[in-house]
Amino acid sequence: MAHGAPDGGHLKKGLKQRHLAMIAIGGVIGAGLFVGSGAVIGEVGPGAFITYALTGVLIVMVMRMLGEMAVANPSTGSFADYARRALGGWAGFSVGWLYWYFWVIVVGFEAVAGAGILQRWLPGVPLWVMALGLMLLMTATNLFSVTSYGEFEYWFAAIKVATIVVFIALGTLFVLGLWPGRDLDFSNLTDHGGFLPHGVGALFSGIVIVIFSMVGAEIATIAAAESAEPERAIVRATNSVVFRIIVFFVGSIFLLATILPWNSTRLGASPYVSAMEELGIPAAAEIMNAVVLTAVLSCLNSGLYTASRMLFVLAARREAPGRMLAINQRGVPMWAILSSTVVGFACVVAAYVSPDTVFLFLLNSSGAVILFVYLLICLSQLVLRRRTPPERLRVKMWFYPLLTVLTAAAIVAVLVSMAFRDDTRSQIALSLLAWALVLVAYVVRRRVVGDAHTTGDGAAAEARAAAWAHEHGAAAETQVDAAVGEGPLDPALVRRMREEGQPNEGA
């Protein structure tokens, strides 16, 4: 559905199926794959592709849960609304603000990263000027229309996909001995200390690093609400994520570990550049820097989109300033986009003025936030599955509740392992602090604004919403949260009013 603004405007359904397909792909393939995979191979060894496969299983499970909830309960708010319905207002508030916080920090970080790449070609231009230019470009794209966002993301993703496909094709020829001057050679998988030189435990400890390079596939479940066929788009995104992870991550990492020794210093900064140089590809560094810049712009583009839509939903739930609901004539939430841009650029300023204190604090405090969100998604699916009528479960989580519980346990295990690693301990501590501050804000808001469910007006609104849902059928229940304006509707109230056949009075 398209949420309405107070002025009667609605988010425009301007995304096509091809946009959504590429948004889902682009969300998975980020700069972390092109740049950070060398560190994972160095930590795990040639078996690093198994670490990527294990991490991919976690992402696939989370996407499947989102697919089930999104198809049964379509909503622009996506997992923030699901958490609110399943676990209560505190969970929806937490997911919404934590997810927004994560993406505005990512926006700032990606702008700085993109500016750093541009400095290779424009050394005389200050870093902050180029970062601002990149942010203004992507802000204008998002403000123009949701279609322009989708079109940019389509081509950004197409470039990333084409790069990975070409690399896999050439790399396969190389290791199979079908490359000029090469013989069949898989020796790098077992030489230099073996397949797992740091032991089996490294397979699992590497997940801590890898999981952050796979974040973003869930954006498709948010973007689907601005398409003509959201259910079809969500089903396609959740079903195809398995193939994408196997091909783009597991396949390319396997080839990297086969082409180059796992302990080679050449894997450090840009493993794909080193691999392409090993193949003798001319201008490999320039080609890959252009691709990484594309990946950065893609992440910046999607980050602004995602942050703005989550802020828009928070405002619709009266958990963010009402001005964030303002929609321009092109059907996009302009103030939500501009506000997210301002915060993102504040991160850029922090990186320029105080890179080792303020900017580092912002990065660390958002480091584990996405895992908190994923954990709440798991808990939400556990609860909502039991509440959802069977006829609305057109997409189902596999082997419920076993796989849901195992996925939640795996996420908790990753969080615990972060607390024991020197390089991630500060991230988990500061991310917990960020969540604590969000919960404090929720408590303060409840005391200042009040709880619509505990007041006479709130109870009346809830009763009217229940009557309206009864009148319009099960699909209308997704509108109830907006009618009440606060948290989930009491399922017992809905059932009672349906049984009693209450008329739609005052709705």
pLDDT of residue 231: 80
Same domain, 343 and 427: yes
Taking the chain (507 residues) in consecutive chunks of 10 residues, what is each chunk's mean pLDDT? 48 83 78 84 92 92 91 71 92 94 92 90 91 93 90 91 92 92 87 88 86 84 81 79 81 93 81 89 88 90 92 89 88 93 92 86 85 95 93 90 97 91 88 95 86 42 40 41 40 45 39
Same domain, 125 and 270: yes
Q: Whole-angstrom Cα distance, residue 150 to residue 302?
A: 9
On whether residue 506 sits in a domain, the answer given is no
Please list the helix, strand and coil fractions of the chain in percent, rounded to the nearest 5, in that order.
Answer: 75, 0, 25
Tell me the residue range of the domain where 467 lies.
456-500
Same domain, 444 and 460: no
Q: Whole-angstrom Cα distance, residue 316 to residue 37?
A: 39
On whether residue 4 sits in a domain, the answer given is no
Q: Whole-angstrom Cα distance, residue 396 to residue 404?
A: 11
Same domain, 180 and 147: yes
pLDDT of residue 395: 87
Same domain, 443 and 463: no
Same domain, 101 and 211: yes
On whether residue 215 sits in a domain, the answer given is yes
Looking at 88-181, list the stretches that DSSP marks H as alpha helix, in order from N- to C-terminal side: 89-118, 127-144, 146-175
* Single residue among 433, 449, 465 that ends a domain in this structure: 449
On whether residue 11 sits in a domain, the answer given is no
Instruction: Say if CB 224 and CB 230 are below 8 A apart.
Output: yes
The CATH number of whichever domain residue 119 belongs to comes to 1.20.1740.10
On whether residue 299 sits in a domain, the answer given is yes
Same domain, 214 and 199: yes
Q: Whole-angstrom Cα distance, residue 487 to residue 484?
A: 8
On whether residue 41 sits in a domain, the answer given is yes
Same domain, 163 and 225: yes
On whether residue 173 sits in a domain, the answer given is yes
Same domain, 89 and 140: yes
Same domain, 273 and 359: yes
pLDDT of residue 75: 57
Please identify which residue in the block is written with the tokens 């024991």: 420
Please identify which residue in the block is written with the tokens 């969100």: 373
* Tokens describing residue 38: 């060398």
pLDDT of residue 1: 41
Same domain, 364 and 482: no
How distant, in Å, are the alpha carbons of 22, 118, 156, 295, 488 from that of 290?
19, 9, 11, 9, 46
Same domain, 294 and 438: yes
As for how many domains the chain has, the answer is 2
* Tokens describing residue 488: 């989930």
Instruction: Say if CB 491 and CB 465 are below 8 A apart.
Output: no
On whether residue 374 sits in a domain, the answer given is yes
pLDDT of residue 450: 65
